[in-house]
Structure 1
Amino acid sequence: MTLPVVAVVGRPNVGKSTLFNRVIGRRLAIVDDQPGVTRDRNFSPADWAGRHFYIVDTGGVIEDSDRPMDRLVREQAEVAIREADVLVLVTDGKEGLHPLDQKVAEMLRSSGKPVVLAVNKMDNLPRDPAHHEFWELGLGEPHAVSAGSGKGSGDLLDRIVELLPAADALPDDPTQIRVAVVGKPNVGKSSLVNRLFGEERVVVSDEAGTTRDPVDSTMAYHGRNLVFVDTAGLRRQAKVKEDLEYYSYVRTERVVRDADVCLMLIDGTQGISHQDLRIMEQAWEAGAGVVLVVNKWDLVEKDGFTADLMVKAMRERTPFLQWVPVLFASALTGQRVRKALDMVLEAEAQRQRRIDTSDVNDVLQRLVGRQPPPHSRGRPVKIRYGTQVRVAPPTFVLFSNLPREVPAHYLRYIHNGFRDAWEFTGTPIRIFFRESNTS
């Protein structure tokens, strides 16, 4: 990251995610009354008074807990502290000073980095003086805020910006590709991201549903900046019961819609399910490129069952999968994992591909000459010419005398003909009909 980093830390349920959302101006991190909701580091660009920076939301630090999840969250918070340029310790003004606040303050002081103390939930500002007791932490002036209402947040941000090291404003990045890592819970999404980055970027646990918020991680690869968003696992909506899990479900769907390419993971030991297909169709319909990764391939009992047979069975089940590249890999061992990066680049290249109008019409005329469109109520349907009107995904407009009378099966024929000519591997294509002005 070229921008300075601000890490928001503290014990559970003091309002770190609410403050994070307040700073970035949108609800990116999940907020819930249940403590321990945030498990991973959430990264987002933010700005204040003309200064740009990254803000990092961390899970609540629980000292001396032997629960594996608490230990993992604490390790993630420690990584965020190491990466940060400025630390923001969030405390709870309603509950008052807590022994764990003291321990976290000691940890932050030992980092040697500038620390801003935020006393949250001060909803009765400026009448409530409760924040003054936090001077005892020895971190300088306590900044009273109400992250929920926004009271005091401007003064807090002013102080944060004062402590930021010099950095350039956030530039537009034409090389960026947003990659959503999607799939059902516990298929290895976080393990794949960690393997690609060579470090524990996101929490990995045998407990299904560990990742709840989308988590962004950026790498440079062959001249492109790949922004990986590790998402919560998508379950069937009927099975999404808890409010917290529902928020994760909605957030993941939003990430899929915003992605350039989706890395769809399935568990090779279980095969592809209806839910896996639904997720891929959702990404495909949203216009994203799709790469299918069959994870845990090292654990599959082959016994005559080959990758080719599995691909054939999947494509017979769902026709659009014939245009989706498939990678058999193991996030655990690293087997063929790096190849996923090349497949992402290729899918995005195909998604941005533009075909010359002359080539479009050459192929179109060949298709129409081979198989003219059927008549409609005795009237001939003519397709006169076509052109590509946009990319991401490639979108074509074909002009006809009777555009509403072109049947669905003939649209599929044109679609398949375009695929035969240009493939467009890993990306959907869209074809629309419009009425031509000539008779």
Structure 2
Amino acid sequence: ILKSPDSLDDCDVALILIDTSEGITDQDITVAGYAEKRGCGAIFLLNKWDLVDKSEKGQQAFMKELRQMAKFLSYAPAITISAKTGQRCHKIFDQVSKVYKEYCHRINTGTVNRIIEDAVYREEPSLHKGRRIKFFYAAQVATRPPTFVCFVNYPNAVHFSYKRYLLNQLREMIPLSLTPIKLYFREKSGKMDFSGNTKEMERIREKKKKITQKKMKQRKEQSRKKRERDKKGTQ
């Protein structure tokens, strides 16, 4: 568990293995929390499922407990497997592919605006000091995970419950049922507001830094190989 945060830094889809014979432990939920915090996709692998109460009621109770304890990962699918017999293990990579596809999904700006416009029309946000919160336009600004920005007049005044409502509308209408999605509010003429989430900004900067370093290393290696080929060609 100590290595979990580091291993999730460069992870796109986390496989969270749960030993069902021991039930759902605090450690399982802690690892799930790391995945949610990193913003990566996630899949629960419920190992030793053959040892769980085989009655429909018993299995439903286990799933209900999992969803209750890890409700922050409501989008994460769960696969029941047996590592010992190989039962349903072949389904893991198919599910990883589905989650990753949504994790990298991009939608055009026109569609995003229609979804937000319809959502605001159906249910307007609460007033801010007697004034309406106006939504000017919205756009998707990133993938992995899909990240959206709404341009409004009072970005800090949008209540978290209304943010959750808009996230649910995006998830339902696009649809994006298997991946985390992020939504930020930005003042129309200002810089992007991450709601004071300096950890999120730091994580993004660190990820970009690692990608840049990796590309530089690859270019150096390519240059070295080219020099070796040129040297052999002149001999």
- Match in the other structure for 2:129: 377
CA-to-aligned-CA distance 1:239-279 (integer Å, 9 cap, x gap): xxxxxxxxxx2x43211121111110001122222321221
2:115 to 346, 353, 363: 363
More strand by share: 1
Map 1:224-243 → 2, pairs under 5 A: 234=1
Task: Indicate conservation of the 8 Å contact 2:137/2:150, yes or no.
Answer: yes
Residue type of the partner of 2:15? L
Residue type of the partner of 2:89? V
Task: Indicate conservation of the 8 Å contact 2:155/2:185, yes or no.
Answer: yes
Map 1:246-395 → 2, pairs under 5 A: 249=2, 251-395=3-147
Misfit runs of 4+, over 3 Å:
303-309
Task: Indicate conservation of the 8 Å contact 1:298/1:330, yes or no.
Answer: yes
- Match in the other structure for 1:428: 180
Task: Indicate conservation of the 8 Å contact 2:77/2:178, yes or no.
Answer: yes
- TM-score w.r.t. the length of structure 2 is 0.76
Task: Indicate conservation of the 8 Å contact 1:261/1:291, yes or no.
Answer: yes
CA-to-aligned-CA distance 1:267-303 (integer Å, 9 cap, x gap): 1122222321221121122121101110010122324
Map 1:114-153 → 2, pairs under 5 A: none
Q: In structure 1, what is the Cα distance between the partners aligned to 2:69 and 2:39?
A: 21
Could you say what secondary structure the match of 1:389 adopts? strand
Task: Indicate conservation of the 8 Å contact 1:257/1:283, yes or no.
Answer: no
Residue type of the partner of 1:388? Q
Aligned residue pairs total: 190
CA-to-aligned-CA distance 1:297-332 (integer Å, 9 cap, x gap): 012232443544432332234333321111000000
> Which one has a bigger Cα radius of gyration?
1
Task: Indicate conservation of the 8 Å contact 1:325/1:425, yes or no.
Answer: no
Task: Indicate conservation of the 8 Å contact 1:256/1:262, yes or no.
Answer: yes
Task: Indicate conservation of the 8 Å contact 2:43/2:76, yes or no.
Answer: yes
User: Which stretches in structure 2 are left out of the alignment for 5+ residues?
Assistant: 191-235
Q: In structure 2, what is the Cα distance between the partners aligned to 1:306 and 1:335?
A: 19
Could you say what secondary structure the match of 1:258 adopts? coil
- Match in the other structure for 2:221: none
Q: In structure 1, what is the Cα distance between the partners aligned to 2:137 and 2:80?
A: 41
Task: Indicate conservation of the 8 Å contact 1:314/1:321, yes or no.
Answer: no
Residue type of the partner of 1:402? Y
Could you say what secondary structure the match of 1:416 adopts? helix
Could you say what secondary structure the match of 2:131 adopts? coil
Residue type of the partner of 1:426? L
What's the CA shift for 1:356?
1.1
Task: Indicate conservation of the 8 Å contact 1:307/1:328, yes or no.
Answer: no
Could you say what secondary structure the match of 1:293 adopts? strand
RCO comparison, higher one (Cα < 8 Å, 6+): 2
More helix by share: 2
- Match in the other structure for 2:158: 406
Could you say what secondary structure the match of 1:323 adopts? coil
User: Which stretches in structure 1 are left out of the alignment for 5+ residues?
Assistant: 1-233, 235-248
Percent same amino acid at aligned positions?
A: 36
Residue type of the partner of 2:19? D
Task: Indicate conservation of the 8 Å contact 2:53/2:59, yes or no.
Answer: no
Residue type of the partner of 1:340? I
Q: In structure 2, what is the Cα distance between the partners aligned to 1:282 and 1:371?
A: 33
Does the C-alpha gap of structure 1 residues 358 and 307 become closer, same or farther in structure 2, counting only changes over 3 Å? Answer: farther
Q: In structure 2, what is the Cα distance between the partners aligned to 1:271 and 1:425?
A: 26
Q: In structure 2, what is the Cα distance between the partners aligned to 1:429 and 1:383?
A: 19
- Match in the other structure for 1:25: none
1:396 correspondence with 2:148: yes
Task: Indicate conservation of the 8 Å contact 2:9/2:38, yes or no.
Answer: yes
What's the CA shift for 1:423?
3.8
Q: In structure 2, what is the Cα distance between the partners aligned to 1:262 and 1:317?
A: 18
Q: In structure 2, what is the Cα distance between the partners aligned to 1:369 and 1:318?
A: 32
Q: In structure 2, what is the Cα distance between the partners aligned to 1:433 and 1:395?
A: 11
